[in-house]
Structure 1
Amino acid sequence: MKILWISHLVPYPPKGGVLQRSYNLLKEVCKQHDVTLFAFNQSSFLNKSLPYEDDPIGKSVLELEKFVDSVHVMEIPKEKIKFGGHWIALKSLLSGSCYTMDWLNSTAAARTLSTLVDRNSFDAVHVDTISLCVYWEIFSHLPTVLNHHNFESEMLIERSRSEKNPLKRFYFRKEGERLSRVERRYCESASLNICCSDDDSKGMKKMFSKGCFVTIPNGVDRSYFYPSKNIFKNKNSAVIVGGLSWYPNRNAVEFFMNDIWPVLKARLPDFRVDIIGRDPTNEMVEFAQKEDNLHIHGFVDDVREYLWKAEFYLCPIKVGGGTKLKILDALASGCCIIADPFACKGINVTNGKDIVFAESASDYVERIIELINCPNEIRSIEENGPRLIAELYDYQEIGNRYCKYISDVSST
C-alpha cells in the first residue's frame, strides 16, 4: 500500500513524547507499506533537539529517508514573523476561529500537498493531529486515519478551570469550546480515529458518537530504553523528566519545587534531584541556583544515563491527556518510579508492583523514605517494569496492530 503521512513536526530525533510516538509508529508502518512523509518544520523545537548539528533539518531528513520513501518539509508561516504565534492567537480569538486550527495554515503547504495527492495514488492518509485537518478537503476523498496524541479540547477546558489568570482562563475556555466543535466535524468524518489510551478513546467516543475510535497505545523502543547492569545507582537521588514548554510537565515541576522539595530536603538533607527537559523557565533556573542538591539540566541528548543512575524516578503530573511516554521509558529502563496516579492513566501498572503511587507532597516524601528502608522492594519494582513493557508496550507489536487497522480502512 501507498500511504501519505501528514505530520505537524519532523518526527526526528525520537526524543520527547510526541516525537517518540510519531517516529516509532512511522518506522513500523514503513516496514510494511510505502510511505510519503509531508511534515512541517517546527524549527525552534528541532534545533533544541539537535543542538550540535549545523543542519538539523538536513540531518533529520537524511535519517528519515532510511525508511521513508520520500520526505517533503514545509516551513510554518508564523515562524517567519516576530511574535507570529501571538498574532495568530489574537486573530483566531477575534475571528471566532481557534489557534489550534490556524497555526499551520499555509497557502504554500496546501499547493504542495495538493500536488502530492494529485500525482500519487495513495491508498490511505495518516493525519498526525487535529491541526492538520485545515487541509482536509485536499485528501478527504481518501481513507483517512486521524491520530490524537491527546483529547485536545478537553485538555484546554480542564486547563481553563485551574488557570488563575482571568484573561488566560477566558482564552483557554474559548479555545477549548471552539476546538471541540472542530473535533466533532473531523472525528466524525475520518475513516478511523486512533487514541493513545482507552480513557481518551472512550471520552472522545462519548463526545463524538458518530466517529470510530480505537486505541493504539504509546510504546517503547526496547532497543534504546532498557535496564543497565553496568551503571550503579546513586543513593538518595531522583530524576524528573519532561519538556518544560508543555504545561503539564511545567506544572508538575512547579509543584515539586514549591511543595515537595521543601519537605524532602528537610527530611533528607543530602537527597539530590536532577530535572531534565528543554525550556526550563527563568524562575526554575533561579530557584535551583539557590539549592545545593537541586539541578536543572534543560535538554540532554541522551536521558538514559540519568534514568539508570537515579535511585528514584518522580512524575508528579496531575493534568494533561494521552499516556505519558516518560513513564513507559522509565519502566523499560528499570527505574523505581513514584508517580501521581493521574500520570499513569492509560498504562496498565499496578501500585506496589511495578510503580508506587503518591499524590500529596508528604506522600512523595513518605514513599521515598519507606523505599529507602526496603531495598528489596526497590529491586522488585525495578525488575517488574521492563517485564510489563515487554508484554504490552513494545512498538513492534503496536506497529503491527496499527498496520492492520490501516489495511482494513483502505479496503472498505
Structure 2
Amino acid sequence: LVFTGSMDWLPNEDAMLWFVEKIFPLIKKEAPQTDLVIVGRKPTPAIQKLVDNHSDITLTGWVEDTRPYMHESAVFIVPIRIGGGTRMKIYEALAMGKSMVSTAVGAEGLPLEHGKHLFYADTEADFAKYTLQLLRDDAQRKQMGKTARQYVYDHFRWEKVAEVFEDVCQRVIDYSNNEKS
C-alpha cells in the first residue's frame, strides 16, 4: 500500500493517523504480509511516533520522485477525511494505472465512478474491505488500474487539454469581438 503527500499538511496527517490506527489493523488481520509506504516530506512528530511503532510501515520523508514508490505498490490509498487541496495525488495514481481506495472527501469533485476508476470507502470497515479486495484480486486490481489510466489519457493528455484551452481562448475572442460591435 502507498500514500503520498506532504505530511505536515493536516488533512494528510489526519489521514495517516486514522488509517494506521483504525484501518491498517483490519487489513493486517486478514493479510498480515501487507506493508504500507508513506511518501511525504516533513512528517510531524505524531506521524514519526506512529511509524516508529510499526515495522511494516516505511516513512520516506522527502523524495525527488514519488513514482517509483507508487509503481511498486499494489494499491494507492487516499484516506483523507478533511477537505481541501487539489487532488493531484489521485490524478498521478490514475495516470500510473494504480488501483485505488479513497474516501469521498479524498476524491471530492472528481467525476470518478465507484468500482470502475476506484473504490470509495468512508468507513473503516469499507476501507479495509475494498483494500483487501484489491490486494487479493489481481485481475480486478489490474483492470481498475487500466481503466483509471485510460480515463486520464482520454481527458487530460496534452492534446486534449490544449484543445479545451484553445476553445476557451476562441470563446473569449468571439465575446470580445461581439462587445466591440
> Is the aligned partner of 1:383 residue 2:140?
no
Match of 1:321 in 2: 84
> Is the aligned partner of 1:270 residue 2:53?
no
After TM superposition, give the deviation of residue 267 of structure 1 in Å.
2.9
Whether the aligned pair in 1 keeps the contact of 2:104 and 2:121 (CA below 8 Å) is yes
SS at match of 2:25: helix
Match of 1:302 in 2: 65
Q: 1:295 corresponds to which letter in structure 2?
A: T
Change (3 A) 1:385 1:364: same
Match of 2:75 in 1: 312
Q: Decide which of 285, 293, 307 is 2:48's aligned counterpart.
A: 285
After TM superposition, give the deviation of residue 263 of structure 1 in Å.
2.4
Match of 1:198 in 2: none
Change (3 A) 1:400 1:244: farther
After TM superposition, give the deviation of residue 315 of structure 1 in Å.
0.4
CA RMSD after TM alignment: 2.1
Highest RCO, 1 vs 2 (Cα 8 Å, sep ≥ 6): 2
Match of 1:60 in 2: none
Q: What do the CA deviations read for 1:258-282 (whole angstroms, capped 9, x no partner)?
A: 2212322233222100001111101
Match of 1:159 in 2: none
Change (3 A) 1:239 1:339: same
After TM superposition, give the deviation of residue 363 of structure 1 in Å.
1.3
After TM superposition, give the deviation of residue 406 of structure 1 in Å.
5.1
Whether the aligned pair in 1 keeps the contact of 2:74 and 2:135 (CA below 8 Å) is no
SS at match of 1:343: coil
Match of 2:105 in 1: 342
Q: 2:51 corresponds to which letter in structure 1?
A: A
Q: 2:7 corresponds to which letter in structure 1?
A: L
Change (3 A) 1:400 1:245: farther
Distance (whole Å) between structure 2 residues aligned to residue 285 and residue 299 of structure 1: 13
TM-score if structure 2 supplies the norm length? 0.86
Q: Decide which of 10, 13, 19 is 1:256's aligned counterpart.
A: 19
Q: What do the CA deviations read for 1:346-397 (whole angstroms, capped 9, x no partner)?
A: 2221111121111112212211222333221111101101110011122443
TM-score if structure 1 supplies the norm length? 0.40
Distance (whole Å) between structure 1 residues aligned to residue 61 and residue 41 of structure 2: 5
Q: Give structure 1 stretches of 5+ with no counterpart.
A: 1-237
Distance (whole Å) between structure 1 residues aligned to residue 147 and residue 167 of structure 2: 30
SS at match of 2:74: strand
Where in structure 2 are the equivalents of 1:59-70 lying within 5 Å?
none
Distance (whole Å) between structure 2 residues aligned to residue 263 and residue 390 of structure 1: 34
Q: 2:78 corresponds to which letter in structure 1?
A: C
Match of 2:134 in 1: 371
Where in structure 2 are the equivalents of 1:156-175 lying within 5 Å?
none
Where in structure 2 are the equivalents of 1:104-143 lying within 5 Å?
none
Q: Count residues in correspondence.
A: 175
After TM superposition, give the deviation of residue 326 of structure 1 in Å.
0.6
Q: Decide which of 325, 333, 341 is 2:96's aligned counterpart.
A: 333
